[in-house]
């Protein structure tokens, strides 16, 4: 039987400076990589009652890292928070906010994100 393909992998980085907002966080100083995240499962559900395009996304991930649980809960939200750099409103780009990290098993975490669109 053939092995199932990997869904997605991402390295873990720690943000050391906070001079810029979320759209420009790439310009801050980051250290790492401090390990690897492998996506196991993704589930998305609409949270916008007005029929908009916002949704809550739950990601079940496996993490291979020497960092402690406390350190991972501090740095993981910034690895999953993003917004666009557009200078005008209603560009339609997605932004992610209110990231919650919860440990499920020794190396498995549930990451919950709220994703909305700039409109």
Indicate whether 92 pLDDT > 80.
Answer: no
Residue 83 pLDDT: 78
- The pTM for the full model equals 0.76
Parallel, antiparallel or unpaired: strands 14-15 and 30-31: antiparallel
**What residues have CB less than 8 Å from 43, skipping those under 6 apart?**
57, 58
- With bands split at pLDDT 50, 70 and 90, how would you rate the model's confidence at 23? confident
Residue pLDDT, tens place only, 28-47: 898 899 999 999 988 888 76
């Amino acid at each position: 039987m053939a092995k199932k393909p990997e869904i997605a992998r991402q390295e873990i980085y720690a943000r050391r400076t906070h001079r810029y907002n979320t759209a420009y966080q790439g310009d801050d100083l980051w250290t790492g990589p401090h390990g690897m995240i492998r996506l196991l499962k993704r589930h998305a559900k609409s949270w916008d009652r007005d029929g908009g395009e916002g949704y809550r996304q739950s990601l079940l991930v496996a993490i291979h890292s020497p960092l402690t649980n406390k350190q991972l809960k501090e740095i993981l939200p910034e690895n999953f928070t993003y917004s666009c750099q557009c200078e005008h409103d209603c560009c339609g780009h997605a932004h992610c906010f209110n990231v919650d990290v919860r440990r499920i098993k020794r190396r498995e975490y549930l990451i919950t994100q709220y994703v909305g669109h700039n409109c």
